[in-house]
Chain A
């Protein structure tokens, strides 16, 4: 292929142009417009736009509400990334090693991924309900009524409870990636190690884990970025509350934009979010490259 570098001709142009046009018109153009609006106090409706310089970014840096959203986002994102990856890796190891019903288990763990964010949020919201929810009912019937909680109404629990739903819904996706990676590990290497007397744990720690580190880096970055973008579950389960305890960056962006008519500020929040995502992606690339060098 390398020897056949062609020129960008009319055929290539014709083939790429439609996709390029859509992509540019509906993603890049509004993104560039967002950069512009982030320096304004645009309300989303009025035709005139007032330029306010760096005022929005200044508010982001100094305002308590953004700091709160940032902290919530980081707590939620790290909580779910670590749990999702641990869970997904365990599930993948189990599905890979279990002797019976392999395909059934793989499907069972993947099924929550199929359900929309809104629907999964609603199902769990009902299960969390204080008076009629399944969780408190089960606790009651087990004689552990003392553990009953207003799961989503308790300010110190709400964010974690949203996280549980996200882990439940997300783990199956990452499991598929771990599973593919585990299946690509050559059985010869693992067998050789076990003949040399390596215990199952040693085989996992020193042979399998290094060989699937690429999948680990990819999954961890993916789950971090997906965690940053969580919206649906929050909107149906807590609406950012109680108080502002589950208001994340994306939710703050949405609320200031659509409920408070401050779309200029909202887009500035979006720009900050984009920068966080770019940093995470760059770190991922670096990690993957350094691993390649090691191998």
Chain B
């Protein structure tokens, strides 16, 4: 009897399910098409891009990438993008969870005040303080070096990072830490050897979301790195748009270099993107 009703329900909903599936598919094609278009164009000659922008590439045409690396210092740009992203993330993962740990586990009036201070700072747009920031970088002697953007990426991640880590820490049981302390661990050891490994999923979310922002960032490297050399992938793509107005093929090859790494990380670590976004929104 029960089986029958379920079957009936299934049959009843079938056409609407198919319609919904079709509609979702159409929208998915619309969302993916521009990305597909960019990747496709990177493997077409400039003439083909202009003549038939919608057509598929006819052969595996790699000259765009050869030209890209021959005509510009794109290797340096890739190197800079990688260094900025990896070094910043490594330092962020060292500093930010420690701060969140103190805020959460050694809660006092001062730490709560600092937490509010961080959250309030989250509202400040980068554009507001960028002019004095560059002046400050010059005073510290880090303007025009990779250290400048790295320092700013660290400070920019403090607010969101402590928010993410402290909401995650609430779900980590205290007992293990207490046991470690009884066994004679210093607070520093307790944190790094006992608590930090338990924060793995949170660290992964933090690194992928924040790393993506750094990888894709434009204004900071554009303004803070020296202009006599290639800066980052994003900045190079931007300067190509002005420089090679007639060579779209080269620019498309550059965009593929920017998209593909982000896409790979996303496909491998999807669930951490989702977790990080929802945890951040729930608290923010």
Binding site for B on A (CB under 8 A): 1, 4-9, 11-12, 14-16, 18-20, 22-23, 25-31, 33-34, 37, 42, 44, 91, 94-95, 97-101, 104-112, 114-120, 122-127, 131-134, 137-138, 141, 168, 172-173, 176-177, 180, 215, 218-219, 222, 228-229, 231-232, 235-236, 250, 253-254, 257-258, 263, 266-267, 270-271, 273-274, 277-278, 281
Number of B interface residues at 8 Å Cβ cutoff, please give it: 90
Contact status A274-B125, CB under 8 Å: yes
With A117-B218, A137-B53 known as contacts, the answer to whether A108 contacts B28 (CB < 8 A) is: yes
In the complex the two chains form, is A27's CB within 8 Å of B121's CB? Answer: yes
**Residues in A whose Cβ lies below 8 Å from that of B267:** 107
A150 to chain B, nearest CB (A): 16
Would you give the shortest CB distance from B50 to chain A, in whole angstroms?
4
Contacts of A22 in B (CB 8 A): 95, 151, 154-155, 158
A15 touches B99 (CB 8 A): yes
| Contacts A15-B106, A31-B129, A107-B266 known; 14 new A-B pairs at CB < 8 A | A5-B108, A9-B106, A12-B106, A20-B99, A27-B156, A44-B131, A44-B135, A99-B17, A119-B255, A123-B34, A141-B54, A267-B128, A273-B127, A277-B123
Q: Write out the residue numbers on chain A whose beta carbons fall within 8 Å of the beta carbon of B270.
A: 107
Question: Do B131 and A235 have beta carbons less than 8 Å apart?
Answer: no
- A98 partner, pick from B24, B98, B251, B258, beta carbons under 8 A: B24
Q: Are B127 and A232 in contact (CB under 8 A)?
A: no
Number of A-B contacts (CB under 8 A): 271
Can you report 20 residue pairs joining A to B where beta carbons are below 8 Å apart? A12-B106, A22-B158, A23-B158, A23-B159, A26-B151, A26-B156, A31-B121, A31-B124, A31-B128, A34-B129, A108-B31, A108-B32, A114-B212, A115-B258, A119-B216, A127-B53, A176-B273, A215-B281, A222-B284, A257-B131
The answer, among B106, B123, B130, B131, for a CB contact under 8 Å with A274, is B123
Per-position 1/0 for B14-52, Cβ under 8 A of A: 000100110111011001101101100100000001101
> Which of B125, B159, B218, B251 has a CB less than 8 Å from the CB of A270?
B125
* Inter-chain contacts of B158 with A (CB < 8 A): 19-20, 22-23
**B residues near A254, Cβ cutoff 8 Å:** 127, 219
| A37 near B124: Cβ-Cβ < 8 Å | no
Contact: B95 with A177, CB < 8 Å?
no
Contact partner of B110 (CB less than 8 A), chosen from A8, A33, A99, is A8
Q: Determine the residue in chain B with the shortest Cβ distance to A274.
A: B128
For residue B65, CB closer than 8 A to chain A, the reply is no
Which one of B56-64, B67-75, B234-242 is at the interface?
A: B234-242
CB of A109 within 8 A of CB of B28, answer yes
Least CB distance from B128 to A in Å reads: 3
Asked whether any CB of chain A lies closer than 8 Å to the CB of B143, the reply is no
With A5-B108, A44-B131, A118-B234 known as contacts, the answer to whether A29 contacts B136 (CB < 8 A) is yes
Known: A94-B24, A108-B32, A127-B37. A122 touches B255 (CB 8 A): yes
Q: With CB as the reference atom, state the residue of chain A lying closest to B96.
A: A19
Taking CB atoms, residues of chain B closer than 8 Å to A12 are 102, 106, 108, 110-111
CA distance A22 to B237 in the complex (A): 30
